[in-house]
Amino acid sequence: MSETPTVETHAFQAETRQVLHLMIHSLYSNKEIFLRELVSNASDALDRLRFTAIADDSIYEGDSDLRIEIEADEEAGTLTIRDNGIGMSRDDVMENIGTIARSGTRAFLDRLSGDEKMDAHLIGQFGVGFYSSFIVADKVTVLTRKAGEAAESGVRWESDGGGEYSLEPVDKETHGTEVILHLKADENEFLNSWTLKSLVSRYSDHIGFPIRMPEEVTSGEAEKGEEADTRVEWKDVNKASALWTLPKSEISDEEYQSFYKYLSHDLDDAMCWAHNKVEGSQSYTTLLYIPETAPMDLMLQRDERTGLRLYVNRVFIMDAAQQLLPHYLRFVRGVVDSDDLPLNVSRELLQENELSGKIRSAVIRRSLDMIGKVAKDDAEQYEKFWNQFGAVIKEGVVEDFSNRDRITPLLRFASTKGDGAKHVVDLAGYIERMPEGQEAIYYITAENHQAAANSPHLEVFRKKGIEVLLMSDRVDEWMMAYFTEFDGKPFKSVAKGDINLASIGKEEAKDEEAEEAKDESALDADLLKKIGESLGDHVSEVRSSQRLTDSASCLVLGDQEMALHLQRLLEQAGQDVPDSRPVLELNPTHPLVEKLAGEEDQQAFGDLSLVLFEQALLSEGASLEDPAGFVRRVNSLLLEK
């Protein structure tokens, strides 16, 4: 009988040098991130000192002016980031810096009670941010002393990022940590004062502690033959406060508008804003703005959205929080600040989880509520908004089904009963004006407003007083392929499929129209067949029209076919478009159709049939395959006696 094999358990082995190389060269996509990480670590150290001092303020050692200092030495090629925070003991250094991915912040946060944890503004949690220093430095020196310990208990840590480090005791008079980066030869840009201030402004402007840099200040006037007195002063280079963290009652409209301009670099004021704070098991704040005007490249920004800035505990994480902002709200500007959002280890990407999903839903809801309030309270202002952003909002009808009921009341259209090209008609108002017997919402899409308003498809609708929505945005045809009904009323394109208006209006008008339609159909049956044979593959069918009252002809597509102007647009973009042969509808009472009915010459009959087809194409905004032939055929008709 064989013995049962012994199960052995082993720890994973790691090549430290390779792990460090991977972290330094693969973890971060942008080398300037190192300054954000080191400032964040310094902020955490200050926060930990502040919390510790709640129980014993003597730990400040007479220095309660908590601060972060950044100092560049061009001659030595070093960049120093120092703080007067909690500092580290020798054991802390070995655990937190000497052990990769060991986070002192995370360990400290785990020890806090529930209320203390909610108040903490600790940032670093992965224990890898410090190693981003080696992206720009070929050697890093750390001088640190833990608050409350003797000066001789200071520690000096040093490494070139190659997998080993040195550790030795030093005397350090002040508590806190000093990180000295010996920059690589090609990284001297980070010794430039303007560059450093720009990075602080971008990534750490709203850290809750002052970030200071030295600045030479000249005092007095130079005497003859002597230089003016100069001295170095430490100047704050960050705001050290975040507007969105203040109560709304303490913020004026001017301050909100000033922050919007700082955030968006817009010269104009914002149209409106919404400021909300959610507290509970997960806490986050949103401050959202709707601009007055759209950027010139708004329609090109679907994949590059930079309007929403994401912060975690006031530390800037990303400038394009695409996971929190859907495509159709890409014009929204603002900030989202969360106490605890799941980020990837380099803190450059937001991970999907329940909290990020809740924040996304809140951003969408509050943005749409803001827009809805403008629509309800100020029709004139909302028309301006719609002219700027309406085409983008329409994308949401297709892409965000869960919020469609919030989006569709915001839609505005021009119409045959509206004021020219103004987009003032809402769908609820359209339904209220529908006459007795009308069961569908009628619309037409076209390349521009003029083409839509002058389309021959509208003639019978105008005659009967039936309102038609005029859609001329490029997104409209795509939107209407998915937007099939509103409030129980189906949408119906006046340029597609059969149109039967006999059931709409007064009974006398219904009977009269039904009789006219019967007479026209019977009268033109043979003529329609003959015209169809003459036009061949140009059309799928020729029939008598119930749409036309003045024009001679028009083209009609199937209910599921793509509008002709959209087909042309896709063809111009090099896209394959399915073959489509439209229906040619003729107005039986038009003189040209009557002339065609009596034409006996086959050549003349064919030319006139083709002219009617080409006229219908031109009325759709299409270009002709043979413009010269069309001119010749029209001239021939004009010269006939």
Q: What is the pLDDT of residues 445-455, one digit of tens each?
A: 988 899 899 99
**Nearest Cα to 32, choosing from 233, 259, 217, 195?**
195
**Other CB atoms within 10 A of residue 133 CB:** 25
Q: What backbone torsions phi and psi does residue 231 show, to the nearest 5 degrees? A: -145, 160
Please state, in angstroms and rounded to a whole number, the distance separating the CA atoms of residues 105 and 122. Answer: 7
Q: What backbone torsions phi and psi does residue 294 show, to the nearest 5 degrees? A: -85, 145
Residue 29 has pLDDT above 80, yes or no: no
Please give the single-letter amino acid code of residue 106: R
What SS3 state is found at 201?
helix
pLDDT at position 1: 52
Give the dihedral of Cα atoms 211, 214, 215, 220; nearest 10 deg.
Answer: 120
Residue 127 has pLDDT above 70, yes or no: no
Residue 123 has pLDDT above 80, yes or no: no
Confidence bin at 122 (pLDDT 50/70/90)? very low
Confidence bin at 522 (pLDDT 50/70/90)? very low
pLDDT at position 52: 84
Confidence bin at 196 (pLDDT 50/70/90)? very high
Average pLDDT (143-170) is 90
Would you say the C-alpha torsion 530, 533, 538, 543 has a positive or negative sign? positive
Size of the chain, expressed as the number of residues it contains: 641
Please state, in angstroms and rounded to a whole number, the distance separating the CA atoms of residues 90 and 98. Answer: 10
Q: Which residue has the higher pLDDT, 52 or 172?
A: 172
In the numeric block, which tokens belong to residue 613?
């087809």
Domains defined for the chain, CATH in brackets: 16-215+232-236 (3.30.565.10), 243-382 (3.30.230.80), 413-639 (3.40.50.11260)
Average pLDDT (531-550) is 89
Q: What backbone torsions phi and psi does residue 298 show, to the nearest 5 degrees? A: -55, -45
Range ranked top by mean pLDDT from 201-210, 462-471, 520-529: 462-471
Task: List the single range of 202-206, 311-315, 544-548 with lowest mean pLDDT.
Answer: 311-315
Beta-sheet strand order (sheet of 333-338): 270-278, 284-291, 333-338, 308-312, 315-318
Residue 571 has pLDDT above 90, yes or no: no
pLDDT at position 467: 95
Residue 120 has pLDDT above 80, yes or no: no
Is-contact 177 143, C-beta < 8 A?
A: yes
Burial class, 54, CB count within 10 angstroms (exposed 0-12 / middle 13-18 / buried 19+): exposed
pLDDT at position 6: 67
Threshold 0.75, pTM exceeds: no
Question: Tell me: the pLDDT tens digits for 597-637?
Answer: 888 888 999 999 999 999 998 888 777 888 998 999 889 88
Residue 270 has pLDDT above 90, yes or no: yes
pLDDT at position 72: 96
Confidence bin at 401 (pLDDT 50/70/90)? very high
Rg (CA), the chain: 36
Burial class, 456, CB count within 10 angstroms (exposed 0-12 / middle 13-18 / buried 19+): buried
Burial class, 464, CB count within 10 angstroms (exposed 0-12 / middle 13-18 / buried 19+): middle
Q: Which residue has the higher pLDDT, 510 or 75?
A: 75
Please state, in angstroms and rounded to a whole number, the distance separating the CA atoms of residues 306 and 325. Answer: 10
Rounded to the nearest 5 degrees, what angle is found at the Cα of 97, between the Cα atoms of 94 and 102? 95
pLDDT at position 106: 47
The mean predicted confidence, pLDDT, of the chain is 82
Please state, in angstroms and rounded to a whole number, the distance separating the CA atoms of residues 1 and 25. Answer: 55
Q: How far is CA 294 from CA 353, 381, 388, in A?
A: 32, 14, 6
Please state, in angstroms and rounded to a whole number, the distance separating the CA atoms of residues 266 and 493. Answer: 40
In the numeric block, which tokens belong to residue 447?
């390349």
Residue 347 has pLDDT above 50, yes or no: no
Residue 50 has pLDDT above 80, yes or no: yes
Average pLDDT (379-405) is 94
Q: What backbone torsions phi and psi does residue 434 show, to the nearest 5 degrees? A: -65, 130
Task: List the single range of 140-149, 350-359, 485-494 with lowest mean pLDDT.
Answer: 350-359
Burial class, 91, CB count within 10 angstroms (exposed 0-12 / middle 13-18 / buried 19+): exposed
Is-contact 219 229, C-beta < 8 A?
A: yes
pLDDT at position 96: 77
Please give the single-letter amino acid code of residue 186: D
Is-contact 83 172, C-beta < 8 A?
A: no
Please state, in angstroms and rounded to a whole number, the distance separating the CA atoms of residues 544 and 588. Answer: 7
Residue 20 has pLDDT above 80, yes or no: no
pLDDT at position 56: 85
Please state, in angstroms and rounded to a whole number, the distance separating the CA atoms of residues 390 and 317. Answer: 30
